[in-house]
Structure 1
Amino acid sequence: MRSERTLLLFPLLGLCGILQAQSILGRWTTVDDKTGKPRSVVEVTERGGKIYGRIVDLYDKSKLQKLCDLCPDDRNNQPVVGLEIIRDMEQDDDEWEDGTILDPESGKVYDCKLWLEDGTLQVRGYVAFLYRTQTWVRQR
């Protein structure tokens, strides 16, 4: 009886690991899609059934005190570190959409879509049919 329980436990533990690996929650290193260099660390969290992302660190330490002076709404003149750049994402199967992403350098807000691909987080900001996709790497 004990060995049967143990045999059942191992597949369940494996399933838990797979489910954890497929979560977008956690800390991600943003990578500039033009230069390929890491730029910031964004912590992706869930609140009220929706996904949000906040900048928690910058790789360029000279910009740690920078304010988002071009940002709209309640984020105007707020520190970039701590700034919520992803808002109101809702899950639709294997993707998250219907939310927005803020570019703190330009102050522009774009519609957003997120999905996992080969262990990376694909982050697409778009207006109509024009889009730009970045690949973010999970922090270990």
Structure 2
Amino acid sequence: MKRNLTLGLLLGAAVSGSALAQDLTGTWQQIDDKSGSPKAIIEISKESNGTYTGQIVKITPRPGYTPQKTCNNCPAPYTNQPILGMDILKGLKHVEGTGNYERGRVIDPLAGKVYDAKMKLNASGKRLTLRAYMGVSALGRSQTWIRLD
């Protein structure tokens, strides 16, 4: 009986630990897929409808780069919005039983383009891969985000 209780507690802890690893909420360092350098810090939160939203909370300074302050070439409702504080990621939905999130939209405020988005959280919950694409995922680009909290 005692052995079954211990086994049950261990199994319960493993399941709850993996459930926590599946949560996107928190602070993430966005890594530029071209240069490999840190680009911005994104705060991801869960909305009341169960989707996830990501907001730029800090633009990471990089040598030789002057950050753009507004989203000049962006479509409405992003036109001329400040990049700092902008919701760049919207509508991501968790795929039950996986570390995958799909059906989101992401905006690149430097290029002014909106893409379809999906994300995959690794097993440890410390790395996130964002796939941004138009139409077909195979024709998109991927970025790695690293959990800060």
TM-score (normalised: structure 2): 0.80
How far the C-alpha of 1:23 sits from its partner, in A, is 1.3
For residues 102 and 118 of structure 2, what CA distance do their matches in structure 1 show? Answer: 5
Q: Find the counterpart in structure 1 of residue 36 from structure 2.
A: 36
Q: Which moved more, 1:66-75 or 1:99-108?
A: 66-75
Q: Which runs of 4+ in 1 moved over 4 A?
A: 6-11
Q: In structure 2, give the amino acid aligned to 1:41.
A: I
For residues 24 and 56 of structure 2, what CA distance do their matches in structure 1 show? Answer: 15
- Aligned positions of 1:4-15 closer than 5 A: 7=6, 11-15=11-15
Alignment pair present for 1:114 and 2:123: no
Could you report, residue by residue, the CA deviation over 1:44-98 in whole angstroms, capped at 9, with x for unpaired residues? 11111111111111112853x7111122112211111110011111222322111
Q: How many residues in Structure 1 have an aligned counterpart in Structure 2?
A: 138
Q: Which moved more, 1:92-101 or 1:107-116?
A: 92-101
Q: Find the counterpart in structure 1 of residue 22 from structure 2.
A: 22
**Residue segments in structure 1 that go unaligned for 5+ positions in a row:** none
Alignment pair present for 1:49 and 2:56: no
1:102 corresponds, among 100, 104, 107, to 107
For residues 36 and 67 of structure 1, what CA distance do their matches in structure 2 show? Answer: 23
Instruction: Give % identity.
Output: 34
How far the C-alpha of 1:21 sits from its partner, in A, is 2.0
Query: SS state of the match for residue 39, structure 1?
Result: strand
Task: Point out the structure with the larger strand share.
Answer: 1
For residues 128 and 74 of structure 1, what CA distance do their matches in structure 2 show? Answer: 21
Q: In structure 2, give the amino acid aligned to 1:123.
A: L
Q: In structure 1, give the amino acid aligned to 2:112.
A: G
**Residue segments in structure 2 that go unaligned for 5+ positions in a row:** none
For residues 56 and 134 of structure 1, what CA distance do their matches in structure 2 show? Answer: 18
Query: SS state of the match for residue 84, structure 2?
Result: coil
For residues 60 and 68 of structure 1, what CA distance do their matches in structure 2 show? Answer: 18
TM-score (normalised: structure 1): 0.84
Change (3 A) 1:17 1:92: closer
For residues 103 and 23 of structure 2, what CA distance do their matches in structure 1 show? Answer: 18
Q: In structure 2, give the amino acid aligned to 1:71.
A: C
Across the aligned residues of Structure 1 and Structure 2, the Cα RMSD in angstroms comes to 2.4
